[in-house]
Amino acid sequence: MLEFDPYLAPFTTFGIQANADRVVAVESIADLITLFSKKPFPRILGGGSNVLLSGDVEGTVALMRIRERTIEREDADHVWVRFGAGEVWHDVVTWCVQQGWGGLENLALIPGTVGAAPMQNIGAYGVEQNAVFDSLVALDTETLDETCFDAPSCEFAYRDSVFKHKYRYRMIITSVTYRLSKKPVVNTTYADVWNELEAMGVTDVGIADVYRAVVQVRTRKLPDPKQIGNAGSFFKNPVVSADLHEALKSEYPTMPAYPQSNGTYKLAAAWLIDQCGWKGHRRGDAGVHANQALVLVNYGAATGAEILQLATDIQASVLEKFGVELEREVNVW
Protein backbone atom coordinates (compact mmCIF):
# COMPACT_ATOMS: atom_id res chain seq x y z
CA MET A 1 0.00 0.00 0.00
CA LEU A 2 1.17 3.50 -0.79
CA GLU A 3 1.94 5.66 2.24
CA PHE A 4 1.31 9.41 2.32
CA ASP A 5 2.21 12.19 4.70
CA PRO A 6 -0.44 12.21 7.44
CA TYR A 7 -1.60 15.71 6.47
CA LEU A 8 -5.27 15.47 5.42
CA ALA A 9 -5.94 18.88 3.84
CA PRO A 10 -5.09 17.71 0.28
CA PHE A 11 -7.57 14.84 0.56
CA THR A 12 -10.73 16.80 1.45
CA THR A 13 -12.42 19.52 -0.56
CA PHE A 14 -12.84 21.72 2.53
CA GLY A 15 -9.05 21.88 2.81
CA ILE A 16 -9.17 21.78 6.60
CA GLN A 17 -5.76 21.62 8.27
CA ALA A 18 -5.85 18.34 10.20
CA ASN A 19 -3.66 15.29 10.58
CA ALA A 20 -4.09 11.54 10.93
CA ASP A 21 -1.65 9.11 12.50
CA ARG A 22 -1.24 7.38 9.13
CA VAL A 23 -2.58 7.81 5.58
CA VAL A 24 -2.49 4.99 3.04
CA ALA A 25 -4.03 4.27 -0.37
CA VAL A 26 -6.27 1.21 -0.82
CA GLU A 27 -5.97 -0.11 -4.39
CA SER A 28 -7.47 -3.60 -4.04
CA ILE A 29 -9.72 -5.83 -1.97
CA ALA A 30 -6.56 -7.46 -0.63
CA ASP A 31 -5.40 -4.08 0.70
CA LEU A 32 -8.72 -3.64 2.49
CA ILE A 33 -8.57 -7.11 4.01
CA THR A 34 -5.07 -6.39 5.28
CA LEU A 35 -6.21 -3.19 6.96
CA PHE A 36 -9.34 -4.70 8.48
CA SER A 37 -7.70 -7.92 9.65
CA LYS A 38 -6.82 -6.27 12.95
CA LYS A 39 -8.10 -3.42 15.10
CA PRO A 40 -8.24 -0.51 15.36
CA PHE A 41 -9.95 -0.29 11.95
CA PRO A 42 -9.07 2.60 9.62
CA ARG A 43 -11.43 5.28 8.41
CA ILE A 44 -12.19 5.15 4.68
CA LEU A 45 -11.97 8.38 2.70
CA GLY A 46 -13.11 8.62 -0.93
CA GLY A 47 -12.86 11.98 -2.65
CA GLY A 48 -13.24 13.83 0.65
CA SER A 49 -16.02 15.94 -0.90
CA ASN A 50 -18.63 15.22 1.77
CA VAL A 51 -16.49 15.28 4.91
CA LEU A 52 -15.77 18.01 7.44
CA LEU A 53 -12.78 17.32 9.68
CA SER A 54 -13.60 18.76 13.10
CA GLY A 55 -10.06 18.04 14.32
CA ASP A 56 -7.17 15.61 14.00
CA VAL A 57 -8.06 11.97 13.25
CA GLU A 58 -6.72 9.20 15.46
CA GLY A 59 -5.44 6.10 13.71
CA THR A 60 -5.22 5.30 10.00
CA VAL A 61 -7.11 6.98 7.16
CA ALA A 62 -7.35 4.79 4.05
CA LEU A 63 -7.88 6.55 0.73
CA MET A 64 -10.22 4.54 -1.52
CA ARG A 65 -8.37 4.08 -4.81
CA ILE A 66 -9.86 0.85 -6.25
CA ARG A 67 -10.20 1.47 -10.02
CA GLU A 68 -12.31 -0.55 -12.43
CA ARG A 69 -14.57 -0.07 -15.47
CA THR A 70 -15.99 -3.40 -16.61
CA ILE A 71 -18.95 -4.15 -18.88
CA GLU A 72 -20.69 -7.01 -17.09
CA ARG A 73 -23.34 -7.65 -19.72
CA GLU A 74 -25.52 -5.90 -22.26
CA ASP A 75 -28.60 -6.32 -24.39
CA ALA A 76 -30.23 -4.32 -27.16
CA ASP A 77 -31.40 -1.58 -24.81
CA HIS A 78 -29.04 -1.50 -21.84
CA VAL A 79 -25.49 -2.03 -20.67
CA TRP A 80 -24.49 -3.01 -17.14
CA VAL A 81 -21.16 -1.45 -16.13
CA ARG A 82 -19.22 -2.13 -12.93
CA PHE A 83 -17.08 0.70 -11.55
CA GLY A 84 -14.48 0.52 -8.81
CA ALA A 85 -15.34 2.50 -5.69
CA GLY A 86 -12.24 4.65 -6.14
CA GLU A 87 -13.15 5.89 -9.61
CA VAL A 88 -13.69 9.66 -9.76
CA TRP A 89 -17.43 10.21 -10.16
CA HIS A 90 -17.33 12.99 -12.74
CA ASP A 91 -14.83 11.06 -14.85
CA VAL A 92 -17.23 8.10 -14.87
CA VAL A 93 -20.17 10.30 -15.91
CA THR A 94 -18.08 11.86 -18.67
CA TRP A 95 -16.97 8.46 -19.95
CA CYS A 96 -20.55 7.11 -19.99
CA VAL A 97 -21.78 10.11 -21.97
CA GLN A 98 -18.92 9.63 -24.44
CA GLN A 99 -20.06 6.02 -24.94
CA GLY A 100 -23.62 7.22 -25.59
CA TRP A 101 -24.97 5.51 -22.46
CA GLY A 102 -27.66 7.49 -20.69
CA GLY A 103 -28.71 7.78 -17.07
CA LEU A 104 -25.94 9.64 -15.26
CA GLU A 105 -25.62 12.82 -17.31
CA ASN A 106 -27.67 14.95 -14.87
CA LEU A 107 -25.16 14.02 -12.15
CA ALA A 108 -22.15 15.54 -13.90
CA LEU A 109 -19.55 17.51 -11.94
CA ILE A 110 -20.59 16.15 -8.55
CA PRO A 111 -17.31 15.84 -6.66
CA GLY A 112 -16.28 12.57 -5.03
CA THR A 113 -15.84 8.93 -5.90
CA VAL A 114 -18.14 6.16 -7.09
CA GLY A 115 -18.22 4.42 -3.71
CA ALA A 116 -19.85 7.43 -2.08
CA ALA A 117 -22.62 7.70 -4.70
CA PRO A 118 -24.89 4.93 -3.35
CA MET A 119 -23.94 5.68 0.25
CA GLN A 120 -25.28 9.23 -0.10
CA ASN A 121 -27.73 8.33 -2.87
CA ILE A 122 -26.43 11.40 -4.63
CA GLY A 123 -28.80 13.40 -6.78
CA ALA A 124 -29.00 16.60 -8.79
CA TYR A 125 -31.20 18.32 -11.35
CA GLY A 126 -34.12 15.92 -11.14
CA VAL A 127 -32.18 12.62 -11.00
CA GLU A 128 -30.86 10.39 -8.21
CA GLN A 129 -28.26 7.67 -8.75
CA ASN A 130 -30.66 4.94 -7.61
CA ALA A 131 -32.65 5.48 -10.83
CA VAL A 132 -29.99 3.51 -12.73
CA PHE A 133 -28.44 1.59 -9.85
CA ASP A 134 -28.23 -2.18 -10.30
CA SER A 135 -26.10 -3.54 -7.47
CA LEU A 136 -22.95 -3.06 -5.43
CA VAL A 137 -20.34 -5.17 -3.69
CA ALA A 138 -19.11 -4.34 -0.20
CA LEU A 139 -16.53 -5.86 2.11
CA ASP A 140 -17.97 -6.97 5.45
CA THR A 141 -15.37 -5.76 7.96
CA GLU A 142 -16.53 -8.30 10.56
CA THR A 143 -16.21 -11.41 8.38
CA LEU A 144 -13.89 -10.04 5.64
CA ASP A 145 -16.30 -11.54 3.08
CA GLU A 146 -17.65 -9.71 0.04
CA THR A 147 -21.42 -9.13 0.03
CA CYS A 148 -23.65 -8.14 -2.90
CA PHE A 149 -26.48 -5.66 -2.38
CA ASP A 150 -29.35 -5.06 -4.80
CA ALA A 151 -31.35 -1.83 -4.79
CA PRO A 152 -33.98 -2.86 -2.19
CA SER A 153 -31.22 -4.01 0.16
CA CYS A 154 -29.64 -0.56 0.00
CA GLU A 155 -32.82 1.10 1.32
CA PHE A 156 -32.31 4.21 -0.79
CA ALA A 157 -34.04 7.42 0.28
CA TYR A 158 -33.42 11.12 -0.18
CA ARG A 159 -29.63 11.50 0.30
CA ASP A 160 -29.71 8.33 2.34
CA SER A 161 -29.05 4.59 2.32
CA VAL A 162 -28.45 1.71 4.70
CA PHE A 163 -24.72 2.46 4.46
CA LYS A 164 -25.17 5.72 6.38
CA HIS A 165 -26.81 3.94 9.31
CA LYS A 166 -26.94 0.18 9.93
CA TYR A 167 -23.82 -0.60 7.88
CA ARG A 168 -21.98 2.69 8.23
CA TYR A 169 -18.97 1.17 9.94
CA ARG A 170 -19.39 -2.45 8.88
CA MET A 171 -19.67 -2.45 5.09
CA ILE A 172 -17.04 -0.87 2.81
CA ILE A 173 -18.33 -0.40 -0.76
CA THR A 174 -15.76 -1.69 -3.27
CA SER A 175 -17.65 -1.56 -6.60
CA VAL A 176 -20.96 -0.34 -8.01
CA THR A 177 -22.84 -1.57 -11.08
CA TYR A 178 -25.13 0.74 -13.06
CA ARG A 179 -27.71 -0.20 -15.69
CA LEU A 180 -27.33 2.42 -18.41
CA SER A 181 -29.50 3.00 -21.43
CA LYS A 182 -28.36 2.59 -25.03
CA LYS A 183 -31.56 4.41 -26.05
CA PRO A 184 -31.61 7.17 -23.46
CA VAL A 185 -34.53 9.46 -22.72
CA VAL A 186 -33.23 12.75 -21.35
CA ASN A 187 -34.53 14.35 -18.16
CA THR A 188 -34.90 18.12 -18.53
CA THR A 189 -37.56 18.65 -15.87
CA TYR A 190 -35.29 20.78 -13.71
CA ALA A 191 -35.79 24.45 -14.59
CA ASP A 192 -32.11 25.42 -14.48
CA VAL A 193 -31.20 22.68 -16.95
CA TRP A 194 -34.03 23.52 -19.32
CA ASN A 195 -33.22 27.24 -19.22
CA GLU A 196 -29.55 26.49 -19.91
CA LEU A 197 -30.46 24.32 -22.90
CA GLU A 198 -32.63 27.12 -24.27
CA ALA A 199 -29.78 29.61 -23.81
CA MET A 200 -27.51 27.18 -25.66
CA GLY A 201 -30.01 27.10 -28.52
CA VAL A 202 -30.44 23.33 -28.30
CA THR A 203 -33.71 21.98 -29.66
CA ASP A 204 -32.96 18.31 -30.31
CA VAL A 205 -31.70 17.46 -26.82
CA GLY A 206 -29.37 14.51 -26.26
CA ILE A 207 -27.48 13.28 -23.20
CA ALA A 208 -24.35 15.20 -24.22
CA ASP A 209 -26.39 18.42 -24.29
CA VAL A 210 -27.81 17.74 -20.81
CA TYR A 211 -24.33 16.92 -19.55
CA ARG A 212 -22.95 20.17 -20.94
CA ALA A 213 -25.85 22.20 -19.53
CA VAL A 214 -25.43 20.68 -16.07
CA VAL A 215 -21.68 21.36 -16.09
CA GLN A 216 -22.28 24.99 -17.06
CA VAL A 217 -24.98 25.49 -14.41
CA ARG A 218 -22.91 23.91 -11.65
CA THR A 219 -19.79 25.85 -12.66
CA ARG A 220 -21.69 29.12 -12.55
CA LYS A 221 -23.64 28.54 -9.35
CA LEU A 222 -21.25 26.60 -7.10
CA PRO A 223 -17.73 27.52 -5.94
CA ASP A 224 -14.80 25.44 -7.19
CA PRO A 225 -13.24 23.60 -4.20
CA LYS A 226 -9.83 24.12 -5.80
CA GLN A 227 -10.31 27.86 -5.29
CA ILE A 228 -12.50 28.03 -2.15
CA GLY A 229 -12.72 25.09 0.23
CA ASN A 230 -16.22 23.64 0.44
CA ALA A 231 -18.19 20.40 0.32
CA GLY A 232 -21.09 21.53 -1.84
CA SER A 233 -24.50 21.54 -0.19
CA PHE A 234 -23.94 21.37 3.56
CA PHE A 235 -27.60 20.73 4.44
CA LYS A 236 -30.36 18.56 3.02
CA ASN A 237 -33.54 20.15 1.74
CA PRO A 238 -35.99 19.52 4.60
CA VAL A 239 -39.21 17.57 4.08
CA VAL A 240 -42.15 18.79 6.18
CA SER A 241 -45.76 17.80 6.80
CA ALA A 242 -48.63 19.24 4.80
CA ASP A 243 -49.86 21.08 7.90
CA LEU A 244 -46.53 22.79 8.53
CA HIS A 245 -46.21 23.61 4.83
CA GLU A 246 -49.66 25.22 4.83
CA ALA A 247 -48.86 27.29 7.91
CA LEU A 248 -45.53 28.49 6.49
CA LYS A 249 -46.99 29.21 3.05
CA SER A 250 -49.66 31.42 4.56
CA GLU A 251 -46.98 33.46 6.33
CA TYR A 252 -44.37 33.31 3.54
CA PRO A 253 -46.26 33.16 0.20
CA THR A 254 -43.06 33.23 -1.89
CA MET A 255 -41.51 30.25 -0.11
CA PRO A 256 -40.52 27.55 -2.63
CA ALA A 257 -42.04 24.15 -1.88
CA TYR A 258 -42.23 20.91 -3.84
CA PRO A 259 -45.04 18.39 -3.19
CA GLN A 260 -43.92 14.78 -2.62
CA SER A 261 -45.81 11.62 -3.52
CA ASN A 262 -46.59 10.84 0.13
CA GLY A 263 -48.30 14.17 0.81
CA THR A 264 -45.32 15.90 2.38
CA TYR A 265 -43.47 18.92 0.99
CA LYS A 266 -39.79 19.44 0.30
CA LEU A 267 -38.59 22.95 1.12
CA ALA A 268 -35.57 24.76 -0.27
CA ALA A 269 -32.98 24.88 2.49
CA ALA A 270 -31.08 27.63 0.67
CA TRP A 271 -34.17 29.86 0.72
CA LEU A 272 -34.72 29.27 4.45
CA ILE A 273 -31.06 30.06 5.22
CA ASP A 274 -31.11 33.16 3.02
CA GLN A 275 -34.25 34.44 4.76
CA CYS A 276 -32.40 34.20 8.05
CA GLY A 277 -29.72 36.50 6.66
CA TRP A 278 -26.86 34.04 6.39
CA LYS A 279 -25.98 34.25 2.68
CA GLY A 280 -22.56 35.84 2.34
CA HIS A 281 -22.00 35.84 6.12
CA ARG A 282 -18.38 35.43 7.19
CA ARG A 283 -16.62 34.77 10.49
CA GLY A 284 -12.91 34.95 9.93
CA ASP A 285 -12.20 32.33 7.27
CA ALA A 286 -15.45 30.39 7.85
CA GLY A 287 -18.42 31.59 5.87
CA VAL A 288 -21.55 31.07 3.79
CA HIS A 289 -21.04 31.46 0.06
CA ALA A 290 -22.32 34.75 -1.37
CA ASN A 291 -24.11 33.08 -4.29
CA GLN A 292 -25.41 29.89 -2.68
CA ALA A 293 -26.60 29.83 0.94
CA LEU A 294 -26.41 26.03 1.09
CA VAL A 295 -22.64 26.07 0.68
CA LEU A 296 -20.41 26.69 3.68
CA VAL A 297 -16.86 27.65 2.75
CA ASN A 298 -13.33 27.77 4.06
CA TYR A 299 -11.71 30.96 2.82
CA GLY A 300 -8.27 29.71 3.78
CA ALA A 301 -7.49 28.92 7.40
CA ALA A 302 -10.85 28.07 8.98
CA THR A 303 -10.87 25.14 11.37
CA GLY A 304 -13.42 22.35 11.15
CA ALA A 305 -14.72 23.39 14.58
CA GLU A 306 -15.36 26.93 13.32
CA ILE A 307 -17.30 25.72 10.30
CA LEU A 308 -19.26 23.26 12.43
CA GLN A 309 -20.20 26.03 14.87
CA LEU A 310 -21.37 28.20 11.97
CA ALA A 311 -23.51 25.31 10.71
CA THR A 312 -24.98 24.79 14.18
CA ASP A 313 -25.89 28.47 14.45
CA ILE A 314 -27.57 28.37 11.03
CA GLN A 315 -29.62 25.34 12.08
CA ALA A 316 -30.71 27.09 15.27
CA SER A 317 -31.80 30.25 13.47
CA VAL A 318 -33.82 28.35 10.83
CA LEU A 319 -35.51 26.31 13.56
CA GLU A 320 -36.36 29.45 15.52
CA LYS A 321 -37.75 31.38 12.53
CA PHE A 322 -39.52 28.61 10.62
CA GLY A 323 -39.85 25.69 13.04
CA VAL A 324 -37.91 23.56 10.51
CA GLU A 325 -34.95 21.39 11.43
CA LEU A 326 -32.09 21.32 8.94
CA GLU A 327 -30.13 18.09 8.71
CA ARG A 328 -26.48 18.11 7.71
CA GLU A 329 -25.67 16.42 4.42
CA VAL A 330 -21.95 16.57 5.15
CA ASN A 331 -20.38 13.92 7.40
CA VAL A 332 -18.47 15.30 10.37
CA TRP A 333 -15.36 13.42 11.55
Active-site residue list = 159, 233, 329
Burial 211-234 (b: 16+ CB within 10 A, else e): bbbbbbbbeeebbebeebbbbbbb
Distances (CA, A) of 319 to 114, 225, 323, 327: 34, 29, 4, 11
Residue-wise DSSP of 179-209: EEESS------SHHHHHHHHHHT-SS--HHH
Q: Whose CA is closest to 166, among 138, 144, 145, 146?
A: 138
Q: Whose CA is closest to 49, among 86, 11, 20, 87?
A: 11
- Residue 258: what are its φ and ψ, rounded to 5°? -125, 115
